[in-house]
A and B are shown apart, each in its own frame.
Chain A
C-alpha cells in the first residue's frame, strides 16, 4: 500500500504570494492532518480534516487554510506569505475509526522557502 504523498516536495516563493500544497493520504484513510515544522517552534498542529470538514484546528492565523476532497485528498493554502512561513509542512493521515487508538502516518513533507 502506498504511503502518504505530498506535492510539491520543494517550493520557493516570495513574500506576499500565496501557495497551495497537496496531500494524498494512504488509501482508505479518512482523516488528514497538517503540521508545520520549524527549527524554533518544532512540530505544530495546523488543522485536521475528516469527511471534507475541518474537525480540529490549531493556533495559526487565518492565512492558513485547507480543504479536503471527497476522495480524502487534501490541500493546504497559505496566503500573503511571510518570511516566518518558511518551514517543512507535513501531512499525516489516519483511518479515524471510533473506539480505536489511532496511528498517524506522515508524508515526506513539503519544504517551503519564502524569500
Chain B
C-alpha cells in the first residue's frame, strides 16, 4: 500500500479539464510544500511535471497546474489532449524515516 493515496483512474474528453488528487498526512503532503507530480507514458521513464506543489519546470505546458489544501494535493490538466493519456504519480517529502513517498499512480484516459 502506497503512502500517498491517488484514484486508480480518471478520464476525460479532449478539451475538458480533469483533476487528480493525492492524499497524505500532516507528516508529508500537509506539512511541507514539497509535492511533485510525474507523468509516465507506457514503457517510458517518468517526467517531472510539477514541483513544490505548483511550479512547472521549463517546457511543461501551462495546461498543467498543481495546488494543495490541507493534506491533499491536486494536479489539474485543462484542455485535455490525446497525448496527456498516461499514468500520473504524486510524490512528497515526508518527515518519517522514509524521507520520500510516492502515490500509487493514476491512469488518465482521454476518451
Q: Do A and B bind each other?
A: no
**B-to-A contact residues, CB < 8 Å:** none
**A-to-B contact residues, CB < 8 Å:** none
